Amino acid sequence: MAKTNKNQDTEGQILDAAKDVFQKKGMDGARMQEIANEAGINKAMLHYYYRSKQLLFEAVFNNAFSLLAPQLNKILNDDSSIEDKVKNFTSNYISFISNHPYLPNFIIHEMNRNPKFFENIQRNAAFPTLDKFKNQVSTEVENGILKPIDGEQLFINIISLNIFPFVATPLIKGFLKIEEKAFKQLMEKRKIAVSEFIINSIKK
């Protein structure tokens, strides 16, 4: 049995292979030939279906971004309390990334490489907004549920604590002198440790 359901059509096989190579090596490091090899087809097919490296890359990037955006949307536009959001997001996000380990790095690197391109996505795609989250934080602060904190800073803190370890994995492995297995255990523990850490800090 094949690994994915896209193995039938060439176009899907190309996209799968392109995801793999682009996410591991980035736009600059990726080679069209390598993508073709990984897909098991002729290099000309890449151009037949996607015209150019740039367009193939954009297909992969948009695809990746539309995986990540809904994750963030949960914490921004869900109706539960801040405390519940923090707990759920932390646990869910860490699980999610374990299945897409190259994703955060890929998105962040390519965003930095070409911020202009990213600005387009921001305009077009269903790009989450902070407004609701900020209001909610203010309200809970006023109601005495949370200690005073700025919504923007809290948002940055939450995504920092959750995303950074996956972006800087080799650095963390280096400092902690651990390998893949111990790293995974550590991230598993973080599902609770991070939300405790945040809640401890903000809850009255």
- Span of 38-46, 91-99, 126-134, 151-159 interacting with DNA by CB under 7 A: 38-46
| Site pattern 23..62 for a second copy (x: CB under 8 A) | --xx-xx---------------------------------
Planar angle of CA 78, 79, 80, nearest 5 degrees? 100
| Cβ-based neighbours of 192, under 8 Å, separated by 6 or more | 91
The CB density around residue 191, as the number of other CB atoms within 10 Å, is: 16
Tell me the C-alpha distance between 75 and 73, whole Å: 5
- Span of 11-19, 39-47, 86-94, 125-133 interacting with a second copy by CB under 8 A: 125-133
170 in contact with a second copy (CB under 8 A): yes
Nearer to DNA, 10 or 77 (CB): 10
- Span of 48-56, 109-117, 132-140, 151-159 interacting with DNA by CB under 7 A: 48-56
Q: CB of 202 within 8 A of CB of 147? A: yes
194 in contact with a second copy (CB under 8 A): yes
Per-residue exposure over 128-166, b if at least 16 CB sit within 10 Å of its own CB, e if not: beeeebbebbeebbeeeebeebebeebbebbbebbbebb
Min dist. Cβ of residue 165 to a second copy (A): 6
124 in contact with a second copy (CB under 8 A): no
Environment class of residue 47 by beta-carbon count within 10 Å: exposed (0-12), middle (13-18) or buried (19+)? Answer: middle
Member of 26, 45, 169, 173 binding DNA (CB under 7 A)? 45
Member of 52, 127, 142, 184 binding a second copy (CB under 8 A)? 127
Which listed option, DNA, a second copy, none, makes contact with residue 43 (CB within 5 to 8 Å by class)? Answer: DNA
Q: CB of 86 within 8 A of CB of 79? A: no
The CB density around residue 90, as the number of other CB atoms within 10 Å, is: 24
Name the CA dihedral angle for 59, 65, 69, 71, rounded to a multiple of 10 degrees. Answer: 120
Residues in contact with DNA by the rule CB under 7 A: 10, 30-33, 41-45, 47-48, 51-54
Residues in contact with a second copy by the rule CB under 8 A: 25-26, 28-29, 72, 105, 107-109, 111-113, 115, 118-119, 122, 127-130, 147, 149-150, 152-153, 155-157, 159-161, 163-165, 167-172, 174-177, 186, 189-190, 193-194, 197-198, 200-202
